[in-house]
């Protein structure tokens, strides 16, 4: 079947014919109708995740999918042939830039009936990230103040909507051209990151979701109230992540060292710092599907490409500035 692979780290993504997926007892085989692109795809290709996600090459890329179940393993109970589903397959079983993919049923949910495959494929990775940051880790409560960085991006567009649904007061950073757009998504306060300094404008926040890392993360700590929490999806991985990921002792020491500065800064300010690396979770995806069905969360697709142009689509997400997500269609 036709897929898009890279042969070795830093090598370009290209089309290839590979053997059909093997469908395990707990797997569903999905005919891919649409596949969402993520910065993680490009970071993997460039080898930036080699240490914590050691993939063998050649590798079929792609972390998000929507499509139709065309076969099920012997032990599958929740899905049947013909079901419309969406998924972020678990790490080490990715590969949605393909005509078909076998996915463990516990990573899959039925797609919301009110979405197209393109819209459904735009959701899993970013919506699970938002859910795990705001619900699971952040425990956001009504009335709390939440800062979501990069509100017009893939994660930000969903995180703003989810935080509003949870009853939070939401501030976000975005370019001026995206100000009205993020306000429509529900942001109460919009900071133009090109002309304004959010750290000067905001204070007393309960939670920050940082997707930029570096100085942006360091300054984010200063807008938190004492006891507040910064969750970064782009900052330094922390020891809790290293433990949960089962990394070896040497890597754990390395990770402790690279996050020491930000953890110390947080401690000095009386706030906490956590790194989040999202994980596949079909149950959470079901909750997200319910919110989409109830029009609480609407998918934001800024660009689509035909399947044959998957490499161009991947390149576009590193250089372009689309609102929300980029999705390839019609594998």
Ligand X SMILES: NC(=O)c1ccc[n+]([C@@H]2O[C@H](COP(=O)([O-])OP(=O)(O)OC[C@H]3O[C@@H](n4cnc5c(N)ncnc54)[C@H](OP(=O)(O)O)[C@@H]3O)[C@@H](O)[C@H]2O)c1
Site residues for ligand X per CB under 6 A = 38-40, 43, 126, 129, 149-150, 152-156, 173-175, 178, 193, 211-212, 233-234, 276-278, 317, 321
- Give the shortest CB-232-to-ligand X separation in angstroms: 8
Distance separating alpha carbons of residues 1 and 17, to the nearest angstrom? 5
Measured at CB, which residue is nearest to ligand X?
153
Distance separating alpha carbons of residues 161 and 170, to the nearest angstrom? 9
Distance separating alpha carbons of residues 256 and 259, to the nearest angstrom? 6
Pick from 11, 18, 89, 114: nearest CA to 60? 18
- Give the shortest CB-193-to-ligand X separation in angstroms: 3
- Cβ-based nearer residue to ligand X, 153 or 311: 153
- Cβ-based nearer residue to ligand X, 88 or 110: 88
- Give the shortest CB-266-to-ligand X separation in angstroms: 18
- Cβ-based nearer residue to ligand X, 79 or 198: 198
- Give the shortest CB-50-to-ligand X separation in angstroms: 15
- Cβ-based nearer residue to ligand X, 79 or 275: 275
Distance separating alpha carbons of residues 28 and 220, to the nearest angstrom? 42
- Cβ-based nearer residue to ligand X, 40 or 102: 40
Residue 270 near residue 226, CB atoms below 8 Å: yes
Pick from 94, 106, 114: nearest CA to 32? 94
Collapsing DSSP states into helix, strand and coil, what is residue 262?
A: helix
Collapsing DSSP states into helix, strand and coil, what is residue 76?
A: coil
- Give the shortest CB-157-to-ligand X separation in angstroms: 8
- Give the shortest CB-123-to-ligand X separation in angstroms: 12
- Cβ-based nearer residue to ligand X, 207 or 276: 276
Distance separating alpha carbons of residues 59 and 221, to the nearest angstrom? 37
């Amino acid at each position: 079947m036709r897929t898009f692979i890279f042969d070795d780290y830093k090598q370009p993504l290209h089309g290839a014919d590979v053997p059909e997926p093997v469908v395990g007892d707990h797997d569903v085989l999905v005919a891919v109708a649409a596949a969402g692109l993520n910065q993680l795809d490009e970071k993997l290709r460039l080898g930036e995740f080699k240490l914590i996600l050691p993939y063998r090459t050649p590798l079929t890329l792609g972390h998000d999918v929507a499509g139709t179940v065309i076969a099920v393993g012997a032990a599958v109970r929740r899905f049947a042939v013909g079901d419309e589903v969406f998924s972020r397959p678990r790490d080490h079983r990715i590969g949605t830039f393909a005509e078909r993919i076998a996915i463990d049923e516990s990573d899959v949910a039925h797609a919301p009936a009110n979405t197209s495959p393109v819209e459904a494929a735009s959701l899993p990775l970013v919506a699970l990230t938002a859910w795990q940051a705001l619900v699971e880790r952040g425990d956001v409560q009504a009335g709390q103040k939440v800062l979501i960085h990069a509100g017009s991006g893939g994660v930000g567009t969903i995180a703003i909507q989810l935080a509003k649904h949870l009853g939070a007061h939401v501030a976000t950073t975005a370019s001026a051209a995206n100000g009205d757009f993020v306000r429509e998504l529900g942001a109460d306060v919009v900071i133009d990151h090109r002309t304004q300094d959010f750290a000067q404008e905001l204070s007393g926040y309960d939670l920050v979701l940082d997707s930029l890392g570096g100085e942006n993360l360091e300054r984010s700590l200063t807008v938190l109230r004492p006891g507040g929490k910064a969750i970064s999806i782009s900052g330094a991985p922390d020891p809790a992540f290293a433990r949960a990921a089962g990394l070896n002792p040497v890597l754990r020491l390395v990770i402790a060292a690279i996050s020491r500065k930000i953890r110390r800064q947080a401690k000095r300010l009386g706030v906490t710092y956590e790194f989040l690396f999202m994980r596949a979770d079909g149950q959470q995806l079901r909750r997200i599907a319910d919110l989409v069905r109830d029009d609480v969360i609407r998918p934001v697709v800024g660009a689509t490409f035909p399947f044959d142009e998957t490499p161009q689509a991947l390149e576009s997400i590193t250089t372009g500035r689309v609102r929300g997500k980029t999705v390839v269609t019609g594998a």
